[in-house]
Structure 1
Amino acid sequence: MNFFDDVGIMAIGTRLRMLSEKVTEDAAKIYQMYDVDLKPKWFPVFYILSNTETRSITALADNIGHSHPSVSKIVREMIKAGIATEKKDKTDKRKNNIQLSDHGRKIAIRIEEQYTDVEKAIEEILNQSKNNLWNAIEEFEFLLNQQSILQRVKENKKQREAKKVTIAPYETKHHDFFKRLNEEWITTYFKMEEADRKALDHPKEYILDKGGHILVALYNNEPVGVCALIKMNDANYDFELAKMAVSPIAKGKGIGWLLGEAVIQKSKSLGAKKLYLESNTVLKPAINLYQKLGFKKVMGHSTPYERCNIQMELILH
């Protein structure tokens, strides 16, 4: 069995690592063949220094796209091997400038023939290849800079798990969950207030009987999130989005986004023109969610909550 044929493209990291190890092994033997006293991992730093007078470690790291600690370690190894030297910057004594030693300069001259032969060998491989690996790597790096593999996997995970989520109307059996989930986040950051107790202790009388609605997010048929749509006696707004909460066990599954979208669609179906909400800027994930849903900051409305320091609205089209 060929491992990569069996596993497929998700093993790209393993395959690239094995390819890198194979190329690095050959590179070490090539240095020996040309009697060049270098290690393959030193090459990026060596090449930059061989084409300039001096560089700081920070500048070297920026030039080759490595971390500062990684470059610092390579420089120390090169200094120990007598290939590089360091000296204090004349204008900034806190900064050390790195340059090639006399021995390093001699290597830089001797290695030119190796460069010529290696470049020709790589060109032969690329020309013999159906797909140009160098160009493919460049394109792949460009795409990863736009969105990393980690970010793409997170998004796919959300999309897959979202398929297991259903948004259902509130039922009496959901009361304890609705109350407990909201009490948990409120008491974690703030204190319970009178308006909280009215809505959480008596959701039927305070929300539903007055023309409001409560939606419940179910993940594998278990409640994991809630959000209320409270009817407002306000000429400017139809409903208030309130009491949104997601269970800690369901974080990262996009439940808040699904609830928010469902509440907005519910509002539209009821003929609403504007939605209103109140929050606190300490709740950064919640504020980010509201902004992504399209809510904009507004000012000047009276509020029954001491914790409210930001008000937002959404104009429905």
Structure 2
Amino acid sequence: MQILPYTDTLAPHFAHINAAWIEDMFVLEDHDRHVLGHPREAIVDQGGVILFAATPDGTVIGTGALMPTATGAYELTKMGVLAAARGTGAGGILLAALIERARDLPGIDTLYLLTSRKCAAAIHLYERAGFVHDADIMARFGHAYARCDVAMRFPLDRPR
């Protein structure tokens, strides 16, 4: 598995992979459409990061982002793996790479994610990686998505 940084050439994979899982379980919201349609503008140009998981031959099978949302706060967002690649470990590898990138972002003090109880496998992955459920994150950021009923925070002071 290789981790690739964002390029405009890879942007269609970001949109396709995320639209597929969101539409499979939920409805694309206006915020989703904006971020998926304009990842450079919405994430990268704002100081965020988008990474891709690819097979050794370069086939993109997963993606995820770190999007700045407030001073010092980044949302781990739009993380998905193609249905055909689930169970390969790609999600865990991608999540670990995103956490490592987050630790190196200047001025970051909060790394969080918003999700839904319907995403039980993803929640389990996040918990294994060290994310903890957090009511303050829900109160501060949970309104961003209608589907959000779970908010989690990663303790950035946790050893690597």
After superposition, the C-alpha distances for 1:68-108 in whole angstroms (9 at most, x for unaligned) are xxxxxxxxxxxxxxxxxxxxxxxxxxxxxxxxxxxxxxxxx
1:54-93 matched pairs, under 5 angstroms: none
Aligned counterparts, 1:121-200, within 5 A = 165-200=1-36
1:306 maps to what in 2? 146
**Separation (CA, whole Å) in 2 of partners of 1:249 and 1:190:** 19
Match of 1:247 among 78, 82, 107: 82
Between the aligned partners of 1:252 and 1:291, the Cα distance in structure 2 is: 17
Shift, 1:301, TM fit: 2.1
Q: 2:113 aligns with which of 274, 277, 300?
A: 277
User: 2-side partners of 1:260 and 1:238: how far apart?
Assistant: 17
1:243, distance to aligned residue in structure 2 (A): 0.1
How far apart are 1:315 and its partner, in Å?
Answer: 1.4
Give a deviation string over 1:166-200, Cα, whole Å, max 9, x none.
11101111111110111111111110101101100
- How far apart are the structure 1 equivalents of 2:77 and 2:18? 10
Residue 294 of structure 1 and its aligned partner are, at CA, apart by: 0.6
**What TM-score, normalized by structure 1, do the two folds share?**
0.46
- The share of aligned pairs that are identical, in percent, is 34
Higher relative helix content: 1
Q: SS state of the match for residue 46, structure 2?
A: coil
CA contact (8 A) 1:273 1:315 kept: no
Separation in structure 2 between the aligned mates of residue 269 and residue 172 of structure 1, nearest angstrom: 23
Q: Which runs of 5+ in 2 are unaligned?
A: none
* Count of residues paired in the alignment: 151
Query: Between Structure 1 and Structure 2, which shows a larger proportion of strand residues?
Result: 2
CA distance in 2, matches of 1:232, 1:200: 16
Give runs of aligned pairs for residues 261-276 of structure 1, distance below 5 A. 261-271=96-106, 272-276=108-112
